[in-house]
Amino acid sequence: MSDDEVNPYELLQVEVESTDQVIRTAYRQRSLKVHPDRNPNNPEAARKFHELNQAYELLLDPLRRLALDAKLRLKQARTERYKNYDLKRKTMVDELEERERALKKAKVNKHKEDAARLQETEKIKYQGRRLKEEKLKELEKKEKELRVNEAANEEQETDAPPTLRSTDTTVRVKYSLSEHPSLTTASSLAALFAHFGATDVDAIVVSLRSPKKAPQKPPKYGIALVPFKRIGDAFAAVCATGRPARDLAGIEVGWIGGIEPEILGWLRKKGHLGPSGSGISNERQVQQSQEKASLPQTQSRASVSNEFSSFPSSFPDLSKPTEQPKVGELDYESLTLMRMRQAERARLEREILEQEATES
């Protein structure tokens, strides 16, 4: 029991040897004097009443009272010992106790400093996490804006039509020579496809082939590459493959390598071509074919090229003949164009041979 603690016996004004009945009587008397209801103007009344209750409960508890009595006896014994100490020894004990109290106080202060330091560290960590989250949100916002801009740019790029390649206007023609014995020259093929549109007669490649099993026999079928001036005319020819009404009975007309030009897919995506790729429905195609078959040949051929009039006209029109340079007046540009034309013709011939090898 320290010196600062209140002695319950003194608080209740009873002796150490007092019985429980005496303690209860003393408690009733003292509680009536210090009760807060009887001392409304005394701010210490509540504290005193609480201390009185604590002392009363302690003295009525046998175990706690025994512990209190032991402390009191120790305190009394220490007081007696102090009386017998000389001044020097008493001073040394006081200094030791003072050191103990200072050490305890230093430990408490250190604990408080550690707690404050830990709290400051947690505060700094929290601020760091908050700044990091703000930066991440800002980066995510910038990335989102960048993705939106990229998507908009990609959408703008996809809206642009693809580049028209030189082979996009060329069709591959395959036919049997027994059914079409006259189709052995470039001019005959140009005349066959004239009602679809203008063709580049000089660039038409014709290959007459015999069966692989009997290469010494006469040619049985023909393969040709027919370049049109306009892709719309080539598209019309491919859509009319095998149709007697277009003079293509038994003639297969398709794209080189079986791959449709990218520009047609772009037009279909934009809604300029129908799902079948012909720009009109199959029933409508058959109906128009039958109508054109009943017309005179000249009138039918004149109208066929206009059947696909819905095909965009913004593509380059190569149907107008270019002025041929006179002999002796060929400049460097004309010579370059002629050499490029010859190289393109050689490339088309190689593609025919490769396709024949693949088919076999």
Domain ranges of the chain: 8-84, 167-320+330-359
pTM for this structure?
A: 0.41
- Measure Cα distances from 147 to 138, 153, 163, 197 in Å: 14, 10, 26, 45
Whole-number pLDDT of residue 218: 81
- Measure Cα distances from 154 to 50, 163, 189 in Å: 81, 16, 42
Domain 8-84 has CATH 1.10.287.110: yes
Strand arrangement of the beta sheet that strand 221-227 belongs to: 205-209, 221-227, 170-176, 251-255
d(CA 199, CA 191): 9
Residue type, 243: R
Say what angle helices 45-60 and 20-34 make with each other, to 10 degrees. Answer: 170
CATH topology of domain 167-320+330-359: Alpha-Beta Plaits (3.30.70)
Residue 306: Cβ-neighbour burial (10 angstroms; 0-12, 13-18, 19+): exposed
d(CA 31, CA 27): 6
Per-residue pLDDT of the chain (360 residues; tens, 9 = 90+): 555 678 899 888 899 898 999 999 999 998 888 888 888 888 888 898 999 999 999 989 999 999 999 999 998 888 877 777 767 777 888 889 999 999 999 999 999 999 999 999 999 999 999 999 999 999 999 999 998 988 887 776 666 677 777 788 898 888 888 888 888 888 888 888 888 888 888 888 888 877 766 667 788 888 888 899 888 888 888 888 988 888 888 898 999 878 888 887 877 777 766 554 443 333 344 334 334 434 443 343 334 334 433 455 444 443 444 444 443 444 555 666 677 777 877 888 788 778 777 776
d(CA 235, CA 306): 12
d(CA 2, CA 75): 9
SS3 at position 212: coil
Whole-number pLDDT of residue 330: 43
Whole-number pLDDT of residue 3: 57
Whole-number pLDDT of residue 125: 92
Give one DSSP letter per residue of 249-307, joined into a string: TTEEEEEGGG---HHHHHHHHTTSS-TTSSSS-HHHHHHHHHHHHHS-HHHHHHHHTTT
Whole-number pLDDT of residue 63: 93
* Phi and psi based region of residue 67 (left: phi greater than 0; alpha: psi -120 to 50; beta: remaining): alpha
Q: What DSSP designation does 218 have?
A: P
Q: What contacts 35, CB < 8 A, 6 or more positions away? A: 45, 49
